[in-house]
Amino acid sequence: MMKFSKSWNRSTKPRKQRAFRKAAPLHVKQKLMSSHLSKELRKKHGTRSLGIRKGDKVVIQRGQFKGKTGTVDTVDLIRERVLIGGVDLQKKDGSKTPYPVHPSNLLITEISLGDKERQKIVNR
């Protein structure tokens, strides 16, 4: 595995892009975990996208759960995935397991403004 480099600029090779994302430290991966805002929120806050956080209400835009709505339960920075309440896979034995979704496949419909730092980010 290649080491993370702050001086890495860009590459057109998907292999190198994936390696960069995989080797990135958590504070860099946090910046990669953003989703688009709904049209109403986009107009209200004057920004197109926002970093996803626990408690946000989202709609899944792609995949087998397209159109499902739920709240973000967990944000997994290491795997770059989001777990949403009510979006579960049914296993063969009948048990349910949470289905991980990439944040680029989500649309934020309601922002959780629980902490002051998030309030500052939104009001910027």
- Alpha carbon dihedral 11, 32, 29, 103, in 10-degree steps, equals -120
Does some domain include residue 113? yes
Does some domain include residue 27? yes
Contacts of 9 (CB under 8 A, 6+ apart): none
Does some domain include residue 107? yes
- Write down the pLDDT at residue 14: 93
CATH number at residue 116: 2.30.30.30
Does some domain include residue 44? yes
**CA nearest 55: which of 67, 73, 38, 82?**
73
Domain total of the chain: 1
Does some domain include residue 72? yes
pLDDT tens for each residue of 74-94: 999 999 999 999 999 999 999
Q: Can you list the residues of the chain whose pLDDT is less than 70?
A: 1-2
Domain that holds residue 113: 14-123
Does some domain include residue 6? no
Number of residues that make up the chain: 124
Does some domain include residue 5? no
Contacts of 26 (CB under 8 A, 6+ apart): 77, 78
Residues 60 and 53: beta-carbon distance below 8 Å: no
Cα distance from N-terminal residue to C-terminal residue, the chain: 37
Does some domain include residue 3? no
Phi and psi at residue 77, to the nearest 5°: -70, -35
- Write down the pLDDT at residue 21: 87
Q: How many helices (H) and strands (E) does the chain have?
A: 4, 7
**pTM of this structure:** 0.87
Q: Which residue has the tokens 């309601």?
A: 110
